[in-house]
Structure formats: C-alpha cells, structure tokens
Structure 1
Amino acid sequence: MNVAIINGQVVPVDGDPIDGGAVLIRDGKIAAVGRDVEVPSGVRVVDAAGRWVLPGFVEAHGHLGVHEESEGWAGQDTNEMTDPNGARLRALDAINPADLGFADALSGGVTTAVIKPGSGNPIGGQTVAVKCWGRTVEEMLVREPVSVKSALGENPKRVYGDQKKLPSTRQGVAAVIRDALMKAQDYKAKRAAAAAEGKPFDRDGTLEVLVRVLDGELPWCQHTHRADDIATALRLADEFGYRLVINHGTEGHLLADVLAARNIPVIIGPLFTSRSKVELRHRSLRNPGILARAGVQLAITTDHPVVPIHFLVHQATLAVKEGLDPEVALRSITVNPARIMGIDDRVGALRPGLDGDVVVWSGDPLDIMSRALQVFVSGREVYTYADGEGVVADPYYRESQGA
C-alpha cells in the first residue's frame, strides 16, 4: 500500500493544480503531494504522464448496500416504515458490501459514500460513511454515525397516510419531529439529574441518539425538496438549535440568499431524474449554479440508486454546462461533501495525512469522455480499466494485493 503516482496533472482540489506533479502514499496515507516529491526505493511507481490525478470522489447521500442492485425485495433495507421515529436505526446494520453498486462507484471514481436510511419516516435513522471497497462494513468504515436522517414533505406523509396513521400531513410530519426532540430534551435533563444523584437510569436508544443531535454532535440531514418544506426545516432547527444540512434542496435556489446567510449547506440532487412528483417540478441542472453563486456550500448527490452512483461526476459536468463554476463542481463531489459530513480529516482532497484514496483519470474528469483508469483506496489499487474493461479487485482474495 505504498505507491508513488508521478508525472500527472495533479488536482489536489483544495490547492492549485500541479502540472507534472506526484502523489506519494505510504502505509495507506498520503505522505506528500507536489512537483518535486522524493520517491523512496521499494515504492511502486505509477507513471501518470498525460493523465489527471484527483482525490476519490465523495458521495454525500446514497443508499449503496441498503438498496441493492438487482435484488428486489430481498435487498431492500432502506426504510423501516413501521415507526415514524427511527432514530435508533443504523444504516450500518443493513449494508451488504457485496452490492454491485460499490463496484459501479469505483468505476466512476467514487471511493467514499455516506450511506443513509431512506425518506419514508420523519426520522429515518443514523447514517454512516464507508469506503467503497472491502469485505465487511467494519473494514470499510470511515466514521459512524455521521448524522441523523430526517424527512419532510411528500414521502413520510404518503407512507403513513396510506397506513391511516400519524403523520398523514405536513403538519403531522413536523409534529412527529418536534415531539421526538422535546422528549429528547426531557430525557437529557432526567439523565443528568439521575447522574448527579448517583441513581440508575433506564437508557432509551432512540432518545440517546436525539440527545447527540441536540448537543450538536450529529448534524441533522433533512430530506426536503419544496421551498416551504425547507422553511420548515429552518424553523425546526431554530427551535431546537441543531446543525442542519439540507438534503436534495430541489427548490433551494428559491431561498438561496437565506441559506447562504445562515451558512446552511445543501447536498443537491439527484439531477438526472424526471419530475416524478409535485416536489420536483422545479428540478433543474441550473439550480446548483444558482446556489453556489449565492454563497451556499454545495455538494452534489446521485441519491443512488435513483441515479447510478458512477454518474456522480456527470451530474457535475452538466451542472457546469448550466452555469456552475468548474472548480466549484469538482469541490462539490470531493472536499465539500467531506466537510459537510465531517469526514474531511480522512477524505476529499490530496493532502498529506489524508487517506490514500486517489484516482488516475484519462483526462479532465469533467470531460464526459474521460475515464477513471486506476482507483486506489488507502493506497491499494482496487479498480483498473484496461483493454476496454474495468476490473475491481476481489476484496476476499488479498494475496495478489500485497496484504
């Protein structure tokens, strides 16, 4: 897992591009980035002359492994739609590393994904950040939990409206969230009092998680499309003081100045979809550019499998076509999602100390004709494109990988 990638057009993302640069990875971590990097003896050398070298892309909102490819009911573990408050649920416990989506991710240069429960519940559960290659979730783990998923709008009201139970309206969805957070406030106070008096206290898995949200430890990833639902998300965040991250934000451009002034990040997308429901009537590839120009910190998502995850970079490309700055586009699939989700100490850029997740591209990745040729995760080459075919290294067979 020691490798030097030399002579490439190195794009650190959070620094200036380096023509003829090199990236040195030692023990799975980036050790050096620059033009005059000394390559120790015994290190594997990859000549990237004429090619571009970038950090692995970061998908900030996907369902890899919990909504599996080609598995139907058997591989559908995205939503536990039997309890409107699923804060105790963990996406971690439902991920299948053998999901074909992980191989697709690598072919598109995506090396890290934040896996989230679906949007069927007002409070869906805990999210997790993983690498896109490995045998077990523990082996793939970057950080857990990363945030708590919540949903406003059509999805939860449809799910529970069909069951003839709360919540079946937008006011009901907001009430479920508000009630849960009020209970968490009370629980926190009672827990503190019991600790001060040295008394035993019955723990509650759901409320323990929500206390972490109230304490600012875990951000609140709010599924919301319509502008009025985004306003509700802001209202609830004001009431309870948690860290809000807008997910999807289809009509976020209508409130771009408000979001920018409040420093609320937006994970926008998916962008390659039809307007399949009322909430999506203003979906447009122009919207990322509007948000970015207003000063909103932006990440782009596929919401895999809604859009296949290897099309993440293509969404960025077409957003550039519709007005998004190219530099911001690259940041929106690398360092921005990493920072928004609190994993930028591990991934998202080419910087000494970060994980050795590096992708060698045939050219500018924003060029639709460019390909990911070699993908390294923690310094290990896990995907190779050659002779018209991409091959993912088998994570269950390590001898050939130097493990």
Structure 2
Amino acid sequence: MNLPELPDTPDSIPDGDAPYECTTTTVDMQEKQARLPNEASRQYLHLKVEYSMRFPRLTAGVSSKGKSYNISLKQLMMSGLIRVDEIARNYFWYYKAEVPFDMRTTPPRPYLSSTLLKTEGAKRRHTTNPFPESGKGIYRRPDIIIVKNQQDRWPGLAGPDSENAMHVDNLERLVEVKFPEDKFGREQYGDYMLIVGRDRNRLTILEIHDCRPDEGKQADHVFNVTGKAVSKYWPMFFFPPIFLPRPPTTPAAARIEPWTYAVKETVASLAENAADGWNTLSADLQGKLKYTAQWLNDSGKWVHVQAQGVWHWVSDNGKIIKSWTDHELLTAWSGIQRVTDLTLDTLKKIDWIQILTDVAKVAGVVLVSIGVGFLVMTLGIPEALVAALLLIVRLAIMAWDALATVLAAGAAAATLSTQ
C-alpha cells in the first residue's frame, strides 16, 4: 500500500482565526495551542484524518419516531478507526477515542468500565458506553486522548478513580479534531482545559484543511455517489488505516461498509427498516451474517413465549424461521456488556444502528448508533456477537417490556450468584 506523504511539521503553532493558506496538495492538519507530542503521533493521526476526510454527510432515518438525522461521517470514521486499533490491543494503546470524563470532579476523571470492575479492578479500560450517566453537562467526550504509557489503560491526570483507587498521571495530550464546518465553543474549550489541568501544552486543537486539487475532491464526490474508485486520489480504498497486531506478511482484513458513501439517499436502519438496511451491507458482511438474514431482512415479527422462555421469529405467512432462548439472549447480552458497557437504560435510548466497518475477528465490528440528544457513537462488537446485538436492539424497539423483564431478571440472578 502506498501511504500519502505527510506535510512538514510547522515550526510554530498557528493561533487565532486567520485564514489558512495551503502550502501542500493534500489534507493538512493545523496544530493550534500545542503541538502533537511527536512525529509518530502526527503521522498516525494524519493517516486517520486523510482517510476520514473522504466521507460525506448523509441522512439517517428513524421511521417509527418520524425522525431523520444529518450525520457527518468524518468524525465518526476517525473515532471508529482508532477504536478498532484499541480493540485489537485490548485497549493497551497510545490513542483512545471518545473517552468520557466526569466534569464534577477536580480534575475531571475518566469513566472506567463498570462491567469489568469485579474482574479487572483499577486496571480496567475506560468505558465505551457513550451514556456513562444520565443528565446534561455531567461529562465530556474529547475526540482523542493520547497517553504517556500504553501499558497503563488509565487515560487521565493523576488522581483517584470512582472506586478511590489512585492512578499516576498518564495524560500526554487531549486532541480536539475540527473537520471543516465543525464548531468548538468557549464552554467546550474551558471544560477541556479542566481535563488537562489547565495546562495549555496538553491540549492540541487540530484543524483540518482540504488542500487537495479540485480533481481530488471531485473524485471523492464521484466515489461517494457510485461507490467506485475513479482515480489515483483513492489509493487507500481497500486498505483503511487500521493497524492490527499481525505478522508483516498477513494483510489486514478490513472493509468500510458501502452505506457510508450514500450521499443522495436516506440510510436505512438495521434495527427498523431491516430489509432496506440489509441491502446496503457488503456481500462479504451479508455472508458472515447469513443466519441473521433469516429474520433480519424479513417482514415478520418476534414473539416471546414466556412459559417456554423462547423467542420465535414468525414470518408473515406464520412460519417460524428462527428461535432464541432467554438463556441464549442473556449469555449474548452479558458478552455485549463486557465489551461495550451498555446498560438496559442505554439500550432503551438507541434510535438507530448500522455497521460501520467490517474488520478481522481480533478487532471485532464497529457500529454506529444515534441516541438521545443526537449523539453519534461507535461501539466495538466481536464478530460472534453482532447478530445478537442486532437482535437485542430490534427487540428493544418491538418488545421492550418483555425484553427488559428477561434481561433484568438475568442481571439480578447473576448478582445473587456472585454474593
């Protein structure tokens, strides 16, 4: 794979709102307030940025609620690519996407995984639940945290976590990425300065500028409409910049799903408009989810037989196509919680769900959802649990009371068994 050449690191840090003057023919990163820690971090982020810049804005619809959302895929793609790298290394990685910080503490402390508390204690990873607590203004989710020591999962300044276990300072840099049209207000800036302990040298504002010639920008537009690379300006189409731990001779199995290029149509939900959403997936992913296809792209319904503890997918002609037991559902939900920290409360808030990128099994599958307050999030789900997550989200929409009763009863039983 031919990687793009990087522009030279600037000699000084630009500041203010002066117009940016391009000096290259690529995607530029303008570092404001503080430079990135080193050239390696600059190269790593530039690869993610350059790939993410190629993706458009699109519309996602939630038919049952009569809602539609305009989504800029650039930030979502950037977070997703970093999250895959994190998952592949079990979160022992220098770069961490969208870590939530509790703004009620001094300094603000990162939320750690609640699911892994009993098994991993103070050494557990940060939470991947985009709703760590209910309420507005409680937490912030910076775009990227760069840590000093990748063998230490703690992504914050020195201080106690929520269980009062002490941690050393491991926060090298907070990076806020501003793609074109992104906003970064004073209140957000003030909160981020609190997260870094008011140390200006730990906050990098990374403004992204598209300095490519018109031919390159037009190639993106054509690709986003047709899904076909048409020029040298799409050199990394089949190789997203995902850095999996693997032998050098083994290619990275990674593919960005084709729905992300849909600029002229509303993206269908796999949770609601399942048949339409299914058609937007790549043939490879459809093959991996072939058993899910038995119900996902059918217009029937799920029926819960409480006395038997079984869920049946019944097609419109009355035929039972697929069945899940309560036990299978609970086992899958437990596995999903271990990797995502999702809660029942969070599950109820999810409006929309789609698959963003299909990667090697070691990394899992990253999904995108929209919840309360127009929050876009990425989740890393192991391939074996993707079908179960799609089912659980579908049931949350179609049969919330029955699903919540089953999952809540299972959680209560698990708690009693550990006491």
Structure 1 and Structure 2 fold alike (TM over 0.5): no
Which structure is higher in RCO with an 8 Å CA cutoff and minimum separation 6? 1
TM-score, normalised to structure 1, is 0.24
